[in-house]
Each structure stands twice: as structure tokens, then as C-alpha cells.
Amino acid sequence: DIVMTQTPLSLSVTPGQPASISCKSSQSLLHSDGRTYLYWYLQKPGQSPQLLIYEVSSRFSGVPDRFSGSGSGTDFTLKISRVEAEDVGVYYCMQGIRLKTFGQGTKVEI
């Protein structure tokens, strides 16, 4: 099974400042088709999760450009260039190369 490890598990941020979350997988997420199946989701308080980033760095429809994803192989990062109040919630990374496995989640608060 692929294990996803996120750090930190909680993050206190100041509006307007950047924030960064790390995600490491126990195996490479690079598929033989050339794609890397790493996703980022945000679950805002009281809501269902929503997709932010797919294939490491592609922003999903409607996601603000202050969100960016990077990385390769087993090491990945989600960055928020300037945090806004609406960005609070729990962020999850997920691998989709072998079934699906989520990281533990990173709680972001202002």
C-alpha cells in the first residue's frame, strides 16, 4: 500500500502571507503513461472536500491562481502565494496511481 505523509499537520497563517504544505509518498507516483497521479483537496469547515490540484500542478476549474502545486516522484508541495480568510480548512494530498490513498490532512487556520 502507498502511504502518504503530510507535514505539517497544522498551520497557522497570516492573511496575505504565503503558506506551504508538503506531501511525501512511500512510492513513486509517476505512472508508465508519463502522468503523475498526485492530487490536492481542500475541505472547508462543514463542507465536502473540493479538488484544487490534479496531476501535481494542474489547477482544477475555478481554483484561484494563488494555489500552486509542484514536485515529482515522491515529494510534492502545495503553495498558497497569499493566504485569504476563505482558505481555512483541512488540506489533503491523495495518490491515484494504485487505488487511492489520502494523507492525514493539514489543518490551516488564520
Partner 1 sequence: EVQLVESGGGLVQPGGSLRLSCAASGFTFSTCSMNWVRQAPGKGLEWVSSISGNGDYIYYADSVKGRFTIYRDNAKNSLYLQMNSLRADDTAVYYCARDQQVVDLDYWGQGTLVSVSS
**With respect to partner 1, which residue has the nearer C-beta, 17 or 58?**
58
How far is CA 32 from each of CA 29, 37, 54, 79, 99, rounded to the nearest angstrom?
10, 11, 17, 27, 15
Task: Enumerate residues 36-55 that contact partner 1 by CB under 8 A.
Answer: 37, 39, 41, 43, 48-51, 54-55
Which residues sit opposite 7 in a β-bridge? Answer: 22
**With respect to partner 1, which residue has the nearer C-beta, 36 or 74?**
36
**With respect to partner 1, which residue has the nearer C-beta, 14 or 58?**
58
Smallest gap from residue 12 Cβ to partner 1 (A):
19
Gap between the Cα atoms of 59 and 31, Å rounded:
20
